[in-house]
Amino acid sequence: MVANRLEYVGSDFTEGVKRLVASYAAIPEGATVRLAKKTSNLFRKRADVDVPGLDVSGLDKVISVDPVTRTAQVAGMCTYETLVDATLRYGLAPTVVPQLKTITLGGAVTGMGIESTSFRSGLPHEAVQEIEILTGAGELVVARPDNEYRDLYYGFPNSYGTLGYSVRLKITLEEVKPFVELRHVRFTDLRAMQDTMTAISESREYQGEPVDYLDGVVFGADESYLVLGRQTDERGQVSDYTDENIFYRSIQHDDTETPKRDRLTIRDYLWRWDTDWFWCSRAFGAQDPRIRRFWPKKYLRSSFYWKLIGYDHRWNIGDKINARKGLPANERVVQDIEVPLDRTADFAEWFLDEVPIEPIWMCPLRLAEPSPDTTGSKQPWPLYPLERGRTYVNFGFWSAVPVTPGSPGHTNRRIEKKVAELGGHKSLYSESFYPEDEFYEMYGGAAYRELKSRYDPKGRLLGLYEKTVKQK
């Protein structure tokens, strides 16, 4: 039997905030300010700096869970793995749980997070009721949609730590059932898949069954799938994709008439992609049965693969291996982009023709309603201006292509141009190649400059363009 309410931080959190503020004050004026993080889910190289980072120890826990109001108070460096473990005790979960266990709540809010509830619940920052932020000016402020810091509340998403750092967040939770019933629906035509995704996004059902979770995978122009999830409390046999079995391979089947069915516990469903980092574990040989049977289960997770990527970034291992084989170096093409739903097939067809990467992930999203914004603004989040009332589809692709000589970022830049042509945006967690004027036209330049002047007037933190485009 669990307690009626979880609340266990107290002095740990208070002391953590004091250490954070003190460490900020200790950094010399004019020096770069950064977090002292052991892990990261960014695919941009961070510049080396000589000053210590901000002390975030003690800011990695759940502060409280209130099952009556369905809310949680969470420290900014708390991972979703820790948060989900705390909330599932009460049959609750965050409204959107990003796919990887070590993504932090603060990171998902100041960056961008998405998952298979986004077609009905929007993005992680839309569930935030209030957020306590250490600003670039070194001040602690509590931002809400209805107080004097409302501009920071709406401008914080997609600011990537260039306006300040989240210290504490109060978020809305939703009820969840213990199991998820899955249907894998196969398509041999991308436009038929788009039409079905459109219908499900509007009706939230398919063939008479409710759809609580919706994403998909494109293996090729003639093989794509929508993965439909329905919450259930009906007990029965469940699958396990945390060891030898690989989730994305379980999706595939030949029957275009009858969906393939599967069942997972709610926890395993939320982390179904983490074991193999979607499908990226294949780059390390982890999907080879001869290797997988000896791979320690505790290392079948995204955080370990990230360490391997870190070694490659540091020593350029992959490029050195290619050079010995007489092959060109690789250009990383690691991106998440959004295009309007009605351009889904257009982008997928172009990408499959032009970029030799597969599979690619799809996830529809629509800004949440009701919105925290009560002004009726068409684009309430200025630094990532998605339109209210419009459905988009996120595509995720994470691999590499041969470098184009004399043209750094050639393939990435082509993707940026195509996404803009189709009326979309891309997330900024990876490398970007936009010219500065184009970048700020797409990512709320005027609003950002006003926020920067108010909350980081001395420029203690890097600017958004400097951090996400220039810093390589």
Domain range summary for the chain, segments of one domain joined by +: 6-175, 179-272
Helix, strand, coil in percent for the chain, rounding step 5: 35, 25, 45
Task: Specify burial of residue 242 (Cβ count, 10 A radius: 0-12, 13-18, 19+).
Answer: middle
Are the CB atoms for 171 and 105 separated by under 8 Å? yes
Q: What is the predicted pLDDT for the residue at 61?
A: 94
Distance, CA of 447 to CA of 435 (rounded, Å): 18
Mean pLDDT, range 91-109, rounded to an integer: 96
Mean pLDDT, range 96-106, rounded to an integer: 95
Higher pLDDT pick, 429 / 94: 94
With H, G, I as helix, E, B as strand and everything else as coil, classify residue 120.
Answer: helix
Q: What is the predicted pLDDT for the residue at 408?
A: 81
Min mean pLDDT across 56-65, 278-287, 319-328 is at 319-328
How many degrees, rounded to 5, is the angle at CA 180 between CA 123 and CA 86? 60
Q: What is the predicted pLDDT for the residue at 330?
A: 85
Q: Looking at the predicted structure, is the pLDDT value of residue 434 above 90?
A: yes
Domain 6-175 coded CATH 3.40.50.1220: no
Q: Looking at the predicted structure, is the pLDDT value of residue 36 above 70?
A: no
Mean pLDDT of the chain: 90
Q: Taking the model in full, what pTM does it have?
A: 0.92
Are the CB atoms for 186 and 254 separated by under 8 Å? yes
Higher pLDDT pick, 157 / 385: 157
Mean pLDDT, range 305-328, rounded to an integer: 68
384-433 pLDDT tens trace:
989 999 999 999 999 989 888 878 889 999 999 999 999 999 999 888 99
Q: Looking at the predicted structure, is the pLDDT value of residue 31 above 90?
A: no
Q: What is the predicted pLDDT for the residue at 315?
A: 65
Q: What is the predicted pLDDT for the residue at 243?
A: 93
30 band by pLDDT with thresholds 50, 70 and 90: confident
Q: Looking at the predicted structure, is the pLDDT value of residue 365 above 90?
A: yes
5 band by pLDDT with thresholds 50, 70 and 90: very low
Q: Looking at the predicted structure, is the pLDDT value of residue 59 above 70?
A: yes
Q: What is the predicted pLDDT for the residue at 92?
A: 98
User: Of the spans 29-33, 304-308, 309-313, 337-341, which averages the highest pLDDT?
Assistant: 337-341
Are the CB atoms for 55 and 158 separated by under 8 Å? no
Higher pLDDT pick, 150 / 430: 150
319-362 pLDDT tens trace:
556 667 666 778 889 999 999 999 999 999 999 999 999 999 99
Distance, CA of 223 to CA of 36 (rounded, Å): 43
Q: What is the predicted pLDDT for the residue at 375?
A: 81
Q: In what order do the strands lie in the sheet with 425-426?
A: 260-265, 179-187, 223-232, 213-220, 360-366, 391-402, 330-340, 425-426
Q: What is the predicted pLDDT for the residue at 308?
A: 81
Q: Residue holding tokens 């004091």?
A: 18
Q: Looking at the predicted structure, is the pLDDT value of residue 298 above 50?
A: yes
Return the percentage of the chain with pLDDT > 70, whole number: 90
Q: What is the predicted pLDDT for the residue at 168?
A: 97
Q: Looking at the predicted structure, is the pLDDT value of residue 32 above 50?
A: yes
Q: What is the predicted pLDDT for the residue at 46?
A: 53
Q: Looking at the predicted structure, is the pLDDT value of residue 316 above 80?
A: no
Min mean pLDDT across 10-14, 97-101, 158-162, 378-382 is at 10-14
194 band by pLDDT with thresholds 50, 70 and 90: very high
116-129 pLDDT tens trace:
999 999 999 999 99
188 φ/ψ angles, rounded to the nearest 5 degrees: -110, 5
Distance, CA of 107 to CA of 117 (rounded, Å): 18
Q: Looking at the predicted structure, is the pLDDT value of residue 42 above 70?
A: no
8 band by pLDDT with thresholds 50, 70 and 90: very low
Q: What is the predicted pLDDT for the residue at 1?
A: 32
470 band by pLDDT with thresholds 50, 70 and 90: confident
Q: Which candidate, 136, 126, 119, places its Cα nearest to that of 54? A: 136
Q: Looking at the predicted structure, is the pLDDT value of residue 4 above 80?
A: no
Q: Looking at the predicted structure, is the pLDDT value of residue 160 above 50?
A: yes
Query: Is the CA virtual torsion 290, 268, 259, 187 positive or negative?
Result: negative
